[in-house]
Structure 1
Amino acid sequence: MQKLVFLIMLAVLSNPILAAQRVVIAGGSLTDIVFALGGGKDVVAVDTSSTSPLQATQLPKVGYYRDLAAEGVLSQHPELILALQGSGRPEVLTQLRSTGVKLNLYDKPTNINELFNLIGQLGRDLNRQSQAQGLIARLKQTLPAKAPPSSLSALFILSAGDRGVTVAGPETVPDLLFDYTGIRNLATAPGYKPFNREAMLVSAPDFLVAPSHVVYSLGGPEQFCQQSALALLPAAQQCRLLVMDSLLSMGMTTRLPEAIAQLAAYREQSAL
């Protein structure tokens, strides 16, 4: 009996991920997936990008994942930290690891296969492999087929101000949403890049999409559309703007089918 107890304790101690009970997450996509896997009960704090599910928003915050401070994270007494690549400065990550806390870094997914890989990886790391397999299967069932290309074009605006406009191009979640809904993304540079004002005027998007935190930081849709960097665009003058939840539109999460449906509904409305 004593030998059995010893072996069980050895197995647990040799795998700190399985033994972890206090988890801190930095990255909205990770938080969304961990809760979808049923691991939310172990989560004691999240970063400010973790706006889904509702339970996560009620947890203590450790700041924005890109600007993590070791003191804020360690004040939650974590046994395991799950973070997206790009979380915190290198010296912050070194400081966290120096305490002996297990820190796992994950690549940020930008396409469907990468999302499935991330779900599988988190499932293995949290000993929730069967839940991960079930979640992937459900997502595959609920993801719609890609819509055929339409004549509509759009831009996803990450920022619009005196310094110009930053838009989402290929290798971003907004671009994937455009692809699934048959909308032509007028931004062609990979990632989030500045968009030349003259080129934007020539391209003349049919409508604009923007994350809620950007729109409401400027006062709301009307004020957003009145930004000088957008003012000459017919789409901005008529405020043809879809405001989407920031994590829903920019993070690869288990709510991807919902994001596609929301953009598809606006596309149908715009086509009328």
Structure 2
Amino acid sequence: MRCVVTVPYNSNMVYIGTMKSGVWKSSNGGNNWFQASYGLTAMEVRYLVVDPSNPQTLYAATTGGGVYKSTDGAGSWQPCNIGLAELSIRSLAVDPAQPSVVYAGSGVMGGTGTVYKSMDGGQVWQPLMNGLVPTYIPCLALDPFNSATVFCGTANGVYRMTQVHTAVRRSESGQPVSFELQQNYPNPFNPTTAIVFTLNRPTDLNLVIYDLLGNQIRSLLSGKLSAGRHTAVWDGRDDSGRSVAAGVYFYRLVSSEFSATRTMILAK
């Protein structure tokens, strides 16, 4: 056995992560168990964490398969690894104040690792090192009184990381006060990358990929989206489903009130 986790406010619901047989689940406090690994392709599960706001949502840290997510109480699992440079994940933490914020620690004993942060429930990950030297990270914990403070248990001791929030500024109604198109991540990338943007009101827009000659390569989004933060993923294919050549590409977000263009590099 690698790890065990209970569901908040329901001690009868227990999950364990194993070395060779994935996830097992008990709904009667451990008296009976059944395997709950459908969708897992990496069967060594080093860490499990339950979303404190939704007990049906779990994350699993695996050796070699990265992070998996279940939204149906471990009935099925899907990988969520966009942005992860390493797939040996050792630790996880969910922000209880903002459950869409998830942290992951990677690495192998004697090697290096990275702290990653996702703002969208594991869809996209970005490194969060803030001066931490890359090292094996088997433990993560959040300050219960200030979840912007992350404690990292590493091969070199315990480190504390206090984040400075730089989120999009919001109005009194809670909506963003401006549009924002962020740099894609990862960049350079192969084969997929994520494009994150924020809208301050429901808007009709187009998000399009172009090559250096200005030819349209892929229409990623077209239509009306709600206000808030959105993520689009490009898989390096054109509108016909063909893989495109390595090189520099542009992505352009256009609405009636806003337009922005950024550059990205597809590596081969």
TM over 0.5: no
Where relative contact order (Cα < 8 A, 6+ residues apart) is larger, the structure is: 1
Give the TM-score range, shorter chain. under 0.3
Structure that is richer in helix per residue? 1
Structure that is richer in strand per residue? 2
TM-score, length of structure 2 as denominator length: 0.24
Larger radius of gyration: 1
